[in-house]
Amino acid sequence: MKKYSVLFFVSLLSFLMLPFAQANAAEPLSDLHADIMGEWKLDTINGNEPVNEPTLEIGSDRISGYTGCNTVFGNLLALSEDNLQINQLASTMMMCHGAEYDQEQRVIDVFTHTSTLSFDSAMGLLTIGSNNNTLVFKK
């Protein structure tokens, strides 16, 4: 009898949790999002060659990367051709100097503002721009 009570309790609990599991199910990624997922290397920043090989890693709901001085990470709120929004952007706190500092400020500026995004699949280029800064990444 005790065995059946435990089985009934587990079944009931599973049934009651089903709506929560469905509510938290991930939405399918857009074609653009699926195409640009993965690691990118910064090719140019405002038309200039970057220092220390910055990177960007795009996941299903998060981004991370290296600015050339610090590691950054945050949550993706929106990703489409005309809208890239990241929230809760955080970074390590190494002291950056000179060109590293200037570059990091430009990268963070792009990621902390609503940005535009374009992907050229033929060239393998991902361009993200905001305010006066444009980042061009290559696969």
The pLDDT score that the predictor gives to residue 27 is 73
pTM across the whole model: 0.79
Residue 113 near residue 130 (C-beta atoms within 8 A): yes
Cα–Cα distance for residue pair 71/93, rounded to 1 Å: 8
φ/ψ bin of 105: left (φ > 0), alpha (ψ from -120 to 50), beta (otherwise):
alpha
**In-domain check, residue 14:** no
pLDDT band at 4 (very low <50, low <70, confident <90, very high): low
Q: In the prediction, which pLDDT does 83 show?
A: 87
* 62 domain-assigned: yes
Q: In the chain, how many domains are there?
A: 1
Under the banding of pLDDT at 50, 70 and 90, the label for residue 104 is very high
State residue 8's pLDDT score: 52
Read off the CATH number of the domain in which 71 is found.
Answer: 2.40.128.270
Position 15 in a domain = no
5 located within any domain: no
Q: Stretch 109-138: mean pLDDT, rounded? A: 94
Specify if 16 maps to a domain: no
Q: What is the pLDDT of residues 55-96, one digit of tens each?
A: 999 999 999 999 999 999 999 999 998 889 999 999 999 999
Radius of gyration of the chain (CA): 21
Q: Which residues lie across from 116 on neighbouring strands? A: 129
In a domain, 44, yes or no: yes
- Is residue 1 situated within a structural domain? no
Strands 116-120 and 125-130: antiparallel
Does 11 map to a domain? no
Question: Which range is least confidently modeled, 1-5, 10-14, 33-37?
Answer: 10-14
pLDDT one-digit tens code per residue, 40-55: 999 999 999 999 999 9
Give the domain range for residue 32: 28-138
Of 132 and 102, the structure prediction assigns the larger pLDDT to 102
pLDDT at 13: 46
